[in-house]
Amino acid sequence: MSKRYPSGFISTFYDPLKNPNAPIIGTATGDNESASVTFTAPTKVGGSAITGYGAVSSPGGRTATSATSPITVTGLTNGTAYTFAVWAINTYGPSAYSGYSGSVTPAAVFGLFAGGSLDAGVTNVIQYISITSTGNSSDFGDLVSARYNLTACGNTTRSLFAGGENDAAATNFINYVNPVTTGDTTYFGNLIGLTKELSGCSNSTRGLFAGGLEAGVRTNTIQYVTIASVGDATDFGDLTILQRLHASCSNTTTGIFAGGLTTASAWTNVINYVTIASTGDATDFGDLTQSLYGMGGASNSTRGIFAGGKNTGDSEVNVIQYITIASAGNATDFGDLIANIARLAACASTTRAVFGGGSTGARSNVIQYVTIATTGDSTDFGDLLAANFQLAGTSNVHGGL
SS (H, E, C) the chain: CCCCCCCCCCHHHCCHHHCCCCCEEEEEEEECCEEEEEEECCCCCCCCCCCEEEEEEECCCCEEEECCCCEEEECCCCCCCEEEEEEEEECCEECCCCCCCCCECCCCCEEEEECCEECCEECCEEEEEECCCCCCCEEEEECCCCCECCEEEECCCCEEEECCECCCCECCEEEEECCCCCCCCEEEEECCCCEECCEEEECCCEEEEECCEECCEECCEEEEEECCCCCCCEEEEECCCCCECCEEEECCCEEEEECCEEECCEECCEEEEEECCCCCCCEEEEECCCCCECCEEEECCCEEEEECCECCCCCECCEEEEEECCCCCCCEEEEECCCCCECCEEEECCCEEEEECCECCCEEEEEEEEECCCCCCCEEEEEEEEEEECCEEEECCCCCC
What pLDDT score does 5 carry? 55
pLDDT in tens, 230-283: 999 999 999 999 999 999 999 999 999 999 999 878 999 999 999 999 999 999
pLDDT in tens, 285-311: 999 999 999 999 999 989 999 999 999
Is 6's pLDDT higher than 90?
A: no
Contact at 8 Å (CB) between 192 and 221? yes
Contacts of 313 (CB under 8 A, 6+ apart): none
What pLDDT score does 259 carry? 98
| Phi, psi (degrees; rounded to nearest 5) at 16 | -60, -20
Contact at 8 Å (CB) between 193 and 126? no
Could you tell me which residues are beta bridge partners of residue 158?
A: none
Q: pTM for the full model?
A: 0.82
Q: How many angstroms separate the CA atoms of 371 and 75, rounded?
A: 20
Tell me how far CA of residue 120 lies from CA of 123, 136, 162, 361, in angstroms.
9, 20, 22, 16
Is 331's pLDDT higher than 80?
A: yes
Strand pairing class (221-226; 234-238)? antiparallel
Percentage of the chain surpassing pLDDT 70? 96
Is 147's pLDDT higher than 70?
A: yes
Contacts of 161 (CB under 8 A, 6+ apart): 114, 115, 126, 143, 150, 151, 152, 173, 174, 175, 176, 185, 392
Closest by alpha carbon to 357, among 383, 379, 380, 338?
A: 383
Q: How many angstroms separate the CA atoms of 174 and 189, rounded?
A: 5
Q: How many angstroms separate the CA atoms of 315 and 159, rounded?
A: 32
pLDDT in tens, 188-244: 999 999 999 999 999 999 999 999 999 889 999 999 999 999 999 999 999 999 999
How sure is the predictor about 8, in pLDDT bands with cuts at 50, 70 and 90? Answer: very low
